[in-house]
Chain A
Amino acid sequence: MRILVVDDEQGIRELIRDILEPRGHKVTCASGGTEALALLARQPVDMMYLDIRMPNGDGLSVLKRLQVEHPNLPVIMITGCAQHEIVDETLDLGAFACLVKPFCVGDVLGMLDVIRAAA
């Protein structure tokens, strides 16, 4: 699968890439929402991991635009805040699921499997 990972933290981006690439996925990374939207315009992806809190284009705004421009793109939101209202808000905005930090390798892969099964 072609996967776009968007997070302002380089460590998180590389971690997810290192989890997914050994399993045959093609991973592209972006450090902010603006960069992610520009990348998406150039090359389409099958799914996306998107951080909520970022300095350059926050995740929720990007998610709203994605719902208009790429309504069929499955998006898994990444958040450091486990509050129900934030999780609920992302799901209401059309996110496929929400990955709450600290997550484990199994969580990342498990969600991917669900998306693949649904596709």
Chain B
Amino acid sequence: MDESTRKKIGRFVDQRDAQLWLLALVVMFLLTMALLFVDVVNMKEPWWVSPELKLALNTRTMRVALVLSILLICAYFRDSARRLRRENHELIDDLEERGRLLEKKNCEITRLKDLSDQLIGVTDLHLALDLVLDMAVQVIGADTASIMLKSKGEDDLHIAASRGIPKKVINSTRVKIGESIAGLVAQNGQAVLLNSDELVGEMAKRTLRKHAIVSSVIVPIHINEDVRGVISIAKRRGSDCFTEEDLGVLSTLASQTSLVIQKTELLDNLRDQIEKLAFTVEELRQAQVTLVEAEKLASIGRLAGGVSHEINNPLQVILGRVELMLQSETDPAKLRQLQSVMEHTTRISEIVTNLLSFSRRSSGAPFKQVEIGAVLDRTLSLLEPQLTSDGVLIESEIDDRDMPVLANASDLQQVFTNIILNAHQAMHGRPESKITVRIRNEAGSAAVEIADNGPGIPQESLAHLFEPFFTTKSEGEGTGLGLSIAYGIVEAHGGRISARNNSEGGACFSITLPIDRALGRAA
């Protein structure tokens, strides 16, 4: 039996009781009148009352009065008993109802506790929002539910999670803060309970009617002083309306959601920081490697310089003496031998000169403002005939040809020449050989890339590429000084040179030189 039926029955019983007691009062009044009448008859003894009548009146009236009194007393007790029984029933019903409510509350609390326990372990925001909505649907009994969050950097809400809402609606819904009911809740930070039969606002009525909703609860998700979003639940026509208790439960869920959002944001932040830290550590590691490599090359340079200088003097003596002997010698056999000595000594001399270039890092000629594109153009124009005759295609991708750098043009030309000739040699005999030259402005530096589609550089060679005498070429094909000289020159210009293998194959050398801002145009 539901509450309203019980109330109707109670009202009916109360009406009947009132009618019965009114009847009893009337009867009591008439009886009193009858007794008064008997008293009057006894006292006055009117002429029309015979002694027999008087006796009869006294006896019967008393009997009637006695019987009626007993009946009234019985009726009173019976009514009291019935009333007590009814009140007892009502009390039991009330207790049962309270018990049911208590059980429901207990169940809600247990589920909310379970949700809290589950949310503690969840680090993914969308998973956490789904859990919250599951709870809203199961505990409160909503037909549809959604969590709308403020879009980053924008003044509107989007649906971050939902239940019972079509995908098309989810994707297209954008609610401006301050507009529509959800937008107003997000603006004011106040929860609302909307039941269609109690609504006064035209907007609310229209909204509920539009979505065939009978009842809706929308609560804000607060984070500190800010409203970050709203949780909205609704029941469709044919269901019961939400109650204040439901609003309370949803507010608890909103608090849980707020905690989850804060937790996931903290975790995201932490993750970002860890990534940045890892990136910085990697950068530091790279810088350390570069520094160690630079220091190693500088040490090699000092050693090479010292050794070359010491070799230079005896070499000079040998060269001079052989030249003098060649001038005076007439015997052809001796001349041939002397020429051979001269030839090999000249080769030693060239190696020593290159070693000295590497150790000195530049020719020492004064630096002037030069346009990097022009230097590269000159280099290419000198090498192009040799490259094209060997079927090597040259491609240029130049963003800014006129970037000014403070440099010694002929030293830079030597750097480009060494790299391009290395690429040429690496691609020797390969079909569709191609050298691609790129120049671009990279964070205030002039960046030159020279890439080829050759076999690339063996991974184990990459770390030693700029060391003097390191070569991957066959014996007699190179001294292994070209790249170390290029390294020394670029370092002397305050730049950086590095080599890598392209993902699509081939090697790529990168040279970055600082753009000359003081003398040249702004970068």
Contacts and interface: CB of A to CB of B under 8 A. Distances in A.
B488 to A, nearest CB: 12
B318 to A, nearest CB: 9
Contact of B324 (A12, A18, A86, A102): A18
Contacts of B206: none
Contacts of B379: none
A101 B319 CA distance: 10
Contact of B327 (A12, A16, A82, A105): A105
Given A19-B320, A104-B319, A105-B320, A84 B313 contact: no
A118 interface: no
Contacts of A9: 313, 317
Interface residues of B, number: 23
B315 A83 contact: no
DSSP class of A's interface residues: helix, strand, loop or mixed?
helix
A101 B315 CA distance: 9
Given A81-B356, A83-B364, A86-B364, A105 B313 contact: no
A44 interface: no
Nearest to B327: A105
A80 interface: yes
Interface in A1-59: 9, 11-12, 14-16, 18-19
Nearest to A16: B320
B316 A102 contact: yes
Interface in A76-96: 80-87
A15 B364 contact: no
Contacts of A86: 364
Interface residues of A, number: 21
A11 B356 CA distance: 21
A12 B316 contact: yes
B315 A102 contact: yes
A19 B313 CA distance: 16
Given A80-B356, A82-B364, A84-B365, 8 more contacts: A9-B313, A11-B316, A12-B313, A80-B309, A81-B309, A83-B362, A102-B352, A105-B320
Interface of B: 309, 312-317, 319-321, 323-324, 327, 349, 352-353, 356, 360, 362-366
12 contacts: A11-B316, A11-B317, A80-B309, A81-B309, A81-B356, A81-B360, A84-B364, A85-B364, A86-B364, A102-B349, A103-B316, A105-B320
